[in-house]
Amino acid sequence: MNLNLSKPIVFFDLETTGVNIATDRIVEIAVLKVFPNGNKESKTWLVNPEMEIPQASIDVHGITNEKVASEPTFKMLAQEVSKLMAGCDLAGFNSNRFDIPLLAEELMRAGIDFDMKGRKAIDVQVIFHKKEQRTLGAGYKFYCGKELEGAHGAAADTNATYEILKAQLDTYADLENSVAALSEFSTHGVRADFAGFILMNDAQQEIFSFGKHKGRTVEEVFNENPGYHNWIQNADFPLYTKKVLKGIKERMTAPKATMSDSEKLQALQQKFNLR
């Protein structure tokens, strides 16, 4: 079943130096852009991470330091990557928890702001785990009847993810074929930041998900301990998390709008049921 799209959606996969969103770097990125008419555009880049790739990561994806030594840095590719993804919804395998947060970090380090306003995100892994509880290779075999050749290569994983999502729509009649519905189904809770350090509670307030203030609202903590914001800004947290917290801090300290005389009069009339 083909995807029911109202605008382009970008499937992408990252191979990296490790799994720390704040400190690790991209060594390969593959993008598959699918248009509403079914046309596709794809691009894959090897990336010089400007740091040593640990052997444990090389053992997973096979990308060595020598292989990327003469490749462009992400900062050199950032404008092209950002332009390719502009105005698109996003999809991937474990993308909500890893690929999107890490991509956001790399773009922000390159001086390009990134957020999810106006976008939806589909995490095919979440759909898979909710339905079948398996890995990408097993999912590819289960849904598509194929062996995943070149696993842990960004291009192979990206194309497999796209094929799995289409097959999932064929398999599960209760999955609605729309980006909004698939995004909602493949999301674990509501996050204020990509990495999940800041969540939203039932009252739509930002709360901390970690440390001694876990479960408390950000505003409550900042009012009680103003220095906590400065500590986070200088600590090893993702750039996007710091951006979200900075925005909350600025919102808290912004001057309150004052009512005009006519607004005050209208409020009094409503309070005392006057006309």
On whether both 112 and 244 belong to a single domain, the answer is no
**Residue ending a domain, choose from 157, 185, 213:** 185
Question: Between 273 and 74, where is the model more confident?
Answer: 74
DSSP 8-71: -EEEEEEEES-S-TTT--EEEEEEEEE-TTS-EEEEEEE-B-SSPPPHHHHHHH---HHHHTTS
On whether both 115 and 30 belong to a single domain, the answer is yes
Residue 2 lies in a domain: no
Vertex 241: Cα angle to 236 and 246 (nearest 5): 105
Question: Between 156 and 265, where is the model more confident?
Answer: 156
Regarding pTM above 0.75, the answer is no
Report, as an integer, the average pLDDT of 200-217. 92
Mention every residue, 6+ apart, whose C-beta is less than 8 A from residue 268.
274
pLDDT, tens digit, 9 for 90 and up, residues 149-188: 887 789 989 999 999 999 999 999 999 999 999 998 887 6
**Residue ending a domain, choose from 185, 212, 242:** 185
On whether both 23 and 124 belong to a single domain, the answer is yes
Report, as an integer, the average pLDDT of 43-47. 97
On whether both 45 and 107 belong to a single domain, the answer is yes
Judge whether residue 254 has pLDDT over 90. no
Question: What CATH number corresponds to the domain at position 175?
Answer: 3.30.420.10
Of 97, 20, 82, give the one whose Cα is nearest residue 51. Answer: 20
Vertex 143: Cα angle to 140 and 148 (nearest 5): 15
On whether both 174 and 240 belong to a single domain, the answer is no
Residue 3 lies in a domain: no
Domain count, the chain: 2
Instruction: Indicate the length of the chain as a whole number.
Output: 275
The residue segments making up the domain with residue 195 are 189-275
pLDDT of residue 216: 94
On whether both 174 and 39 belong to a single domain, the answer is yes
Residue 198 has phi, psi (to 5 degrees) of: -125, 120
Name the average pLDDT for the chain: 90
On whether both 91 and 180 belong to a single domain, the answer is yes
pLDDT, tens digit, 9 for 90 and up, residues 63-97: 999 999 999 999 999 999 999 999 999 999 999 99
On whether both 268 and 153 belong to a single domain, the answer is no
On whether both 45 and 169 belong to a single domain, the answer is yes
